[in-house]
Amino acid sequence: MTTGKRLATLAAASVLAAALLQGTAARTALAAAAAAGPTASGRVSVAMAVEQLKAAGSDAAARDRVSSYLGGLVESMLALDGRVERASGGRHLFCKTAGGSLDGDELIAAFAAAAPDPSRWAETEAAPIIVDHLLARYPCPDGVALRR
């Protein structure tokens, strides 16, 4: 991945994070656990992610947490993509430059599809679902097939 493409993808990640905060239905569509916290292993749970997405519309701190979390996740994916590229002689995890919007409704739909029972969201890790969703959304024709 070229530096220009990497920077464009990072910029798009910021746009995606901001777009996540726009989904009004996402903030009201599904009820998260009352006091959502991390999973038993200390990872961000789906319940926690949904709770923060819902709060982000009216809570600046929640908005900052969502932006930081998603930005860090995307930046980590970019770092991993660079390592895959070097190790595989040019293959990528994703090639299509991130664009458009990813709203809260779409992300919550990805959570619901991957973990259809909301009562288990407190113990379901959010990051693998988000990563799978982004890999599917921004595919690389000759990319490395990474699926759980």
Does residue 106 have a pLDDT over 50?
A: yes
* 97 pLDDT more than 70: no
pTM of the model: 0.69
pLDDT reported for residue 54:
87
- Which has more confidence, 81 or 130? 130
Check: CB of residue 70 under 8 Å from CB of residue 13: yes
Q: How confident is the model at residue 80 (pLDDT cuts 50, 70, 90)?
A: confident
| Mean of pLDDT values over 87-115 | 80
Helical packing angle, 46-55 and 60-88, nearest 10° = 130
User: What are the CA-CA distances from residue 71 to residues 7, 13, 89 (Å)?
Assistant: 13, 6, 27
**Closest Cα to residue 107, out of 5, 30, 1, 11?**
30
Question: What integer pLDDT is reported at residue 56 of this predicted model?
Answer: 86
- For residue 125, the cross-strand partners are 45
Report d(CA 16, CA 46) in Å as an integer: 18
Asked whether the predicted pLDDT for residue 13 surpasses 50, the reply is no
Residue spans of the domains in the chain: they are: 3-137
3-class state of residue 45 by DSSP: strand
Which of residues 38 and 125 earns the better pLDDT score?
Answer: 125
What pLDDT is attached to residue 144? 58
